[in-house]
Amino acid sequence: MYDFVVIKYSEIGTKGKNRRIFENKLMNNIVLQLNHKVNAKKIYGRIIVTPKEGEKIDNDMLNSLKKVFGIKSISPALKIEKNYEDIKNKIFWLLREKNINTGTFKIDARRTDKSFPVRSFDLNKNLGEDVLNEFPNLKVDVHDPDYLISVEIRHEMAFLYFENIECFAGYPVGAGGKASILLSGGIDSPVAAWLMMKRGMKMNAISFYSPPSNNEKTVMKLIELSKKLSEYYPFNFYHYIIPFTDVQLAIKKLNVESYSLILQRRSMMRIASNLAKYSNSSALITGENLGQVASQTLENMITISDATDMLILRPLVGFEKLDIVKKSQEIGTYDISTWPYKDSCVAFLPKTPATKSFPDKMRKYEEKIENLSDLELESIKNSLVYIMKNGEIIDNYTFSEKEVLKLD
């Protein structure tokens, strides 16, 4: 039914050269995220997305577009000729096609092409009257109409649309650097990943699991989560799933139960930092949240941060749990996160984790583990690598099969 989709994006803070970069990235990401099924072109202040030969604008396409960060709203649109009769007839046609014959409407015409002879004001008035005559049960409401009939007459082209479907806004992925998300099977970290992606960050995911005690189901859950995240991501989404059991066993041997969780987290940070540097990420992201659980006190965050020189972003640190849950429902990760499989074997979790810890003391414990850094590097080499695109796995292998860890 529609000819193309009109994309609106927020221009706040994007002026001059930055604006061009923003627009070009956004167009590029739209094409990638829609698997090259569309063309995107820029006309001033809008991006026009047209399906390629054999493709059509259906709900699937609109749903994929909604997931492209940087888009403020999408409007399926009809191309119109720059003459009054055609505009009027297309409005009538679309009203009939959509079975709209009662309720209120408003015409919102914009003429940026001043060579078109009718002024915006007159277009609104005349089109409004013609619609009222043709559809006697429709009424005008200029303040809160049920249907906002938008007509845009621009230099390059003219079009009309009835809907502004709100999207997530944010920045196009790739505009904000690259980071690695520490992705557990919980509710929080997928939301943290999503929020930073929405700020324009490129990303890969790093997860730790404890084979053989929590093998297949846990890995499956982690994969499902990154598949979901990849729906919002225009590029290949890499997910490194790291066997953590050997490190956990070495920590367990120290017999400092209440600190074992912190020691594990410090080790996760070191491993993740190595992998992040290897994959050109310049920061780590976690789903940590102040005070949510005993392990997430300010003191422990400091002790965890001390294990790496990398910047750790904690986008959820001040969120209410309920808001995180709502967000995870909205983005589609909640139903996966609530599968019962644990990311880390309970055998390695202290019954009462310490709420206070000190970096110096933790470093002393770590020195007692002879080959800790070897175990940590080994775990990366044994990691499972999954590559996702548009919600599907496109490749998977064991790290050492295809990749070589080069570290300085």
Residue 26 or 205 with smaller CB distance to Mg ion: 205
- The count of residues interacting with Mg ion (CB under 5 A) is 2
- Pick left, alpha or beta for residue 88 (phi over 0 → left; psi -120 to 50 → alpha; otherwise beta): alpha
Q: Which of 33, 64, 207, 308 binds ligand ATP (CB under 6 A)?
A: 207
- Long-range contacts of residues 60-66, Cβ cutoff 8 Å, at least 24 apart: 61/5, 61/34, 61/37, 62/5, 62/165, 64/33, 64/34, 64/231, 64/390, 65/5, 65/7, 65/30, 65/33, 65/34, 65/167, 66/165, 66/167, 66/168
Which of the ranges 35-43, 94-102, 112-120, 181-189 carries the binding residues for Mg ion, by CB under 5 A? 181-189
Q: Residue 344 touches which of ligand ATP, Mg ion, none (CB < 5 to 8 A by kind)?
A: ligand ATP
CB of 169 to ligand ATP, least distance (A): 24
> If you ran DSSP here, which 8-state letter would residue 246 be given?
H
Nearest residue to Mg ion by CB is: 186
Residues facing residue 311 across a β-bridge: 283
Among 145, 177, 186, 332, binds Mg ion (CB under 5 A): 186
Does 183 interact with ligand ATP (rule: CB under 6 A)? yes
User: Shortest Cβ distance from residue 186 to ligand ATP (Å)?
Assistant: 2
Selected from 184, 260, 264, 308, the binder of Mg ion by CB under 5 A is 184
Residues contacting residue 346 through CB under 8 Å, at least 6 positions apart: none
Establish if 382 lies at the interface with ligand ATP (CB under 6 A): no
Could you give phi then psi for residue 375, rounded to 5 degrees?
-60, -40
The C-alpha atoms of residue 309 and residue 350 are separated, in whole angstroms, by 27
Check residue 296 for interaction with ligand ATP (CB under 6 A): yes
Token readout for 397 is 């292998």
* CB nearer Mg ion, residue 184 or residue 214: 184
CA distance 37 to 34: 6
Rounded to the nearest whole angstrom, what is the least distance from the CB of residue 396 to ligand ATP in the complex?
18
Kindly list the residues in this chain that would bind ligand ATP in the complex (CB under 6 A): 182-184, 186-189, 207-208, 286-288, 292-293, 295-296, 343-344
